[in-house]
Amino acid sequence: MLNIMPYIISYTCIWWFLFFISLPIGIKEREVNTKDHYHKEVTNAYIWRKVIIVTILAAPLTYLFKSWLDHALLNLL
């Protein structure tokens, strides 16, 4: 159990980092003009697609990060 905890923590941190990076990407907007008030309205943000893509990308990045971190820490000894 103790060997898997660093992977879970790393995966969670990397997943949230990638998710927040992906939020502003690919948002569809439409322009709304009502009585001298002009603004943009979000029509589709594709949240579920972003969640799936980030979940897939975070797995190999977690392994690479954990391997690099272990190697860096062992070199410090």
Q: What is the pLDDT of residues 11-34, one digit of tens each?
A: 999 999 999 999 988 888 888 777
Q: What pLDDT sits at residue 29?
A: 80
Q: What pLDDT sits at residue 53?
A: 94
Q: What pLDDT sits at residue 45?
A: 83
Coil, helix or strand for 45? coil
Quote the distance between the C-alpha of residue 33 and its chain's center.
33
Domain that holds residue 69: 5-76
Q: How many CB atoms lie within 10 A of CB 54?
A: 20
Number of structural domains found in the chain: 1
